[in-house]
């Protein structure tokens, strides 16, 4: 059993939490944050290459990155944690995708309560530094060049993982974006949940604290003036075609983002 870092129903960073001295010395640049983040990646890569990258290590590093974000001025507001605590069956998590932040902190929040993995692009498991780490967590790997083949692979491997009680995180958007565009949010997660006869678990987030890099997308600037919001919605059973549930997820994410001051494209 992994250590539980978030036992309460919600979590809010103490607004009076001081920034790390080394971060302040870095004069509001991303320098300290990225040096520390890269050190975690290199540390875990070594462990993964040795064949020892287990769930406990994954969860611990996720929490290290969570605390690093706070040390560098990030302010989390997480709600709906009780819904994860009470979830006794595997689910398909469906979330909007805004930055690297959610892929780093989700394991520390979710994995202590259930086994979980991600659907990821093949570029991540071929990346020189990230590949050993990503492969160690046995994700579903898609190419994002042939949607038909990707769909077939998810619909084959997904139910097999869920039958083994491994939940799956799906980011239905084609790429990370600050603006939520409903028309680009596909129904893959809902279809997978329906086929596997499990519930779909919506997540709304606003994580533009961690920006996109110009040359390296994962190594972008950080915006200390942007609070971080994550809301775990109510798991729902998929009935019929799943269209109703998909629309409800889109509405949940859209309304949450609007409440948080985020950007949502309106048709």
Q: What is the pLDDT of residues 138-164, one digit of tens each?
A: 999 998 778 899 999 999 999 999 999
Query: Per residue in 104-123, pLDDT tens?
Result: 999 999 999 999 999 998 87
Query: Per residue in 50-86, pLDDT tens?
Result: 999 999 999 999 999 999 999 999 999 999 999 999 9
> Which band of pLDDT confidence, cut at 50, 70 and 90, is reported for residue 7?
very high
CA-based radius of gyration for the chain: 18
Q: Which residue has the higher pLDDT, 216 or 20?
A: 20
User: What pLDDT is stored for residue 217 in this prediction?
Assistant: 67
Q: Where are the domains of the chain?
A: 11-264
In the chain, the percentage of residues whose pLDDT exceeds 70 is 97
Query: Count of alpha carbons within 13 Å of 169, Cβ hemisphere only?
Result: 25
Own/partner contacts of 47-54, CB < 8 Å, gap of 24 or more, are 48/132, 48/133, 48/135, 48/136, 49/132, 53/132, 53/133, 53/136, 53/137
**Residues 64, 116, 120, 205: is their CA dihedral positive or negative?**
negative
Describe the crossing of helices 188-196 and 147-163 by its angle, rounded to 10 degrees. 40
User: What pLDDT is stored for residue 125 in this prediction?
Assistant: 77
User: What pLDDT is stored for residue 143 in this prediction?
Assistant: 83
User: What pLDDT is stored for residue 266 in this prediction?
Assistant: 80
Query: Per residue in 186-196, pLDDT tens?
Result: 999 999 999 99
């Amino acid at each position: 059993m992994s250590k539980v870092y978030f036992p309460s129903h919600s979590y809010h960073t103490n607004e009076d939490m001081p920034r790390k001295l080394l971060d302040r010395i870095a004069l509001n640049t991303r320098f300290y944050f990225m040096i520390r983040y890269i050190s975690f990646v290199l540390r875990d890569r070594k462990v993964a290459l040795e064949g020892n990258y287990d769930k406990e290590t994954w969860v611990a590093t996720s929490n290290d990155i969570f605390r690093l974000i706070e040390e560098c001025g990030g302010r989390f507001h997480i709600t709906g944690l009780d819904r994860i605590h009470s979830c006794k069956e595997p689910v398909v998590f469906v979330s909007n995708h805004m930055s690297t932040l959610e892929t780093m902190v989700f394991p520390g929040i979710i994995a202590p309560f259930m086994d979980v993995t991600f659907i990821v692009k093949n570029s991540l498991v071929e990346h020189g530094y990230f590949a050993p780490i990503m492969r160690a967590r046995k994700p579903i790997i898609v190419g994002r060049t042939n949607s038909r083949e990707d769909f077939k692979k998810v619909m084959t491997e997904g139910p097999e993982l869920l039958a083994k009680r491994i939940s799956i995180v799906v980011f239905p958007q084609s790429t990370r974006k600050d603006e939520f565009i409903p028309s680009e949010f596909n129904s893959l997660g809902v279809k997978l949940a329906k086929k596997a006869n499990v519930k779909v678990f919506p997540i709304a987030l606003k994580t533009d604290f961690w920006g996109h890099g110009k040359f390296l997308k994962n190594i972008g600037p950080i915006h200390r003036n942007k609070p971080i919001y994550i809301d775990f919605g109510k798991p729902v059973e998929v009935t019929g075609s799943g269209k109703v549930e998909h629309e409800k997820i889109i509405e949940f994410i859209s309304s949450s983002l609007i409440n948080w001051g985020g950007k949502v494209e309106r048709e």
